[in-house]
């Protein structure tokens, strides 16, 4: 940026912050060995980043193939949960059992396991914090959602929420938590997809509690943006942002959207195993899904 002092031009460096402010909200970044100052500034300001083509078309296909194999295995075993965390079972377009939320996926899919531990994501790992690890055996492990708009689906969309409910219940403002998503479909507005309200990660405690009705409200917000993705993209979004998943305007297989979330953790490890108890909120969720499926 050129400035003038007494008619003598002076070069002042455009700060990364200013540069990031000028970038359009639909900017697609490239993931390098480190997060650039501009990317940091964009994330601080808006609460999200989109990195294009973080995984290849071959990797996308390999993961999708693994999902079929994992589902087949789980059907054969009559598997309902992993480590106390329920698998979301819905029905596909033919009324056949269909996994709509895989958990601990890296323990079942060698392709996913390889991808989530790959060096190319080190920059994202370092962005989360020091000594960040992939929580393959913790919380819900690597989670993969399959949203689909068919009659037997129990996961067509997801209402407005932030991911900081646990902290809010403890009456404290959640710290920054970054959700790292990998995307396996080309998603435009007609495909539903992730909608978020930029900047709401900096809202106060009360707004984070009450600005919208958690999970019940699906109404489009004038300030929301849709996160367009191409298969292979990686997104980072601050869990304190208000976000939702819109239902696809299409039906059948054409409405299928996959989103995979990698738990990058920095807190003390709390590994789950087959003896782990089902958390209370998962029990409520199970009841709600059962009601949905039987109505």
Q: Would you tell me which residues interact with ligand AKG (CB under 6 A)?
A: 145, 158, 163, 181, 194, 243, 245, 259
Contact region with Fe ion (CB under 5 A), list: 81-89, 95-103, 157-165, 203-211: 157-165
Q: Which is nearer to ligand AKG, 41 or 196 (CB)?
A: 196
Quickly list DSSP for 95-154: S-EEEEEE-SGGGT-HHHHHHHT-GGGHHHHHHH-TT-EE-TTBTT-SEEEEE--STT-S
Q: Which is nearer to ligand AKG, 125 or 156 (CB)?
A: 156
Which of 142, 50, 48 lies closest to 101 in space, CA to CA?
A: 142
Q: What is the size of the binding site for Fe ion (CB under 5 A)?
A: 1
Q: Does 163 bind Fe ion (CB under 5 A)?
A: yes
Dihedral, CA of residue 19, residue 20, residue 23 and residue 27, to nearest 10: 140
Minimum CB distance to Fe ion, residue 70 (Å): 23
Q: In what order do the strands lie in the sheet with 193-196?
A: 158-161, 243-246, 193-196, 225-226
Q: Which is nearer to Fe ion, 136 or 162 (CB)?
A: 162
> In whole angstroms, what is the distance from residue 252 CA to residue 295 CA?
20
Contact region with Fe ion (CB under 5 A), list: 18-26, 79-87, 155-163, 251-259: 155-163
Q: Which is nearer to Fe ion, 62 or 225 (CB)?
A: 225
| H helix or E strand, kind and range, residue 4 | strand 2-5
Q: Which is nearer to ligand AKG, 41 or 264 (CB)?
A: 264
259 interacts with, out of ligand AKG, Fe ion, none, CB within 5 to 8 A per kind: ligand AKG
Minimum CB distance to Fe ion, residue 173 (Å): 17
145 interacts with, out of Fe ion, ligand AKG, none, CB within 5 to 8 A per kind: ligand AKG
Minimum CB distance to ligand AKG, residue 121 (Å): 17
For the chain, give the longest Cα–Cα distance.
Answer: 80
Minimum CB distance to Fe ion, residue 182 (Å): 15
> In whole angstroms, what is the distance from residue 1 CA to residue 264 CA?
38
194 interacts with, out of ligand AKG, Fe ion, none, CB within 5 to 8 A per kind: ligand AKG
Q: Does 165 bind Fe ion (CB under 5 A)?
A: no
Minimum CB distance to Fe ion, residue 59 (Å): 24
54 interacts with, out of ligand AKG, Fe ion, none, CB within 5 to 8 A per kind: none
Q: Which is nearer to ligand AKG, 16 or 159 (CB)?
A: 159
Q: Which is nearer to Fe ion, 47 or 111 (CB)?
A: 47
Minimum CB distance to ligand AKG, residue 210 (Å): 19
Instruction: Name all contacts of 286-289 with Cβ < 8 Å and 24+ positions apart.
Output: 286/86, 289/86, 289/88, 289/154
How many Cβ atoms sit within 10 Å of the Cβ of residue 64?
15
* Measured CA angle at 180 (ends 279, 67), to 5 deg: 70
Question: Taking a C-beta distance cutoff of 8 angstroms, is the pair 211, 258 a contact?
Answer: no
Question: Taking a C-beta distance cutoff of 8 angstroms, is the pair 134, 106 a contact?
Answer: yes
3-state SS class at 192: coil
> In whole angstroms, what is the distance from residue 105 CA to residue 129 CA?
23
181 interacts with, out of ligand AKG, Fe ion, none, CB within 5 to 8 A per kind: ligand AKG
Under the rule (CB under 5 A), what is the footprint of Fe ion? 163
């Amino acid at each position: 940026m050129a400035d003038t002092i007494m008619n003598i031009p002076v070069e002042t460096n455009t700060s990364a912050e200013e540069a990031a402010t000028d970038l359009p909200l639909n900017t697609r970044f490239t993931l390098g060995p480190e997060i650039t100052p501009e990317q940091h500034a964009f994330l601080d300001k808006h609460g999200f980043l989109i990195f294009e083509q973080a995984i290849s078309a071959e990797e996308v296909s390999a993961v999708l193939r693994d999902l079929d194999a994992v589902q087949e295995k789980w059907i054969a075993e009559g598997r309902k949960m992993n480590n106390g965390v329920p698998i979301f079972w819905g029905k596909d377009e033919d009324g056949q059992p269909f996994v709509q939320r895989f958990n601990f996926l890296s323990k079942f899919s060698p392709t996913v396991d390889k991808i989530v531990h790959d060096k190319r994501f080190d920059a994202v790992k370092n962005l989360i914090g020091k000594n960040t690890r992939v929580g393959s055996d913790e919380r819900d492990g690597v989670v993969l959602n399959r949203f689909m708009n068919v009659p037997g689906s129990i996961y067509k969309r997801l209402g407005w929420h932030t991911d900081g409910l646990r902290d809010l219940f403890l009456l404290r403002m959640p710290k920054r938590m970054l959700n790292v998503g990998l995307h396996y479909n080309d998603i435009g507005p007609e495909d539903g997809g992730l909608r978020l309200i930029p900047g709401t990660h900096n809202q106060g405690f009360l707004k984070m509690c009450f600005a919208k009705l958690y999970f019940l409200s699906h109404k489009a917000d004038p300030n929301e943006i849709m996160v367009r993705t191409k298969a292979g993209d990686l997104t980072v979004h601050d869990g304190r942002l208000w976000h939702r998943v819109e239902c696809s305007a299409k039906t059948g297989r054409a409405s299928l959207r996959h989103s995979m979330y990698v738990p990058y953790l920095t807190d003390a490890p709390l590994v789950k195993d087959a003896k782990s108890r089902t958390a209370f909120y998962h029990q409520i969720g199970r009841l709600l899904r059962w009601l949905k499926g039987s109505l």
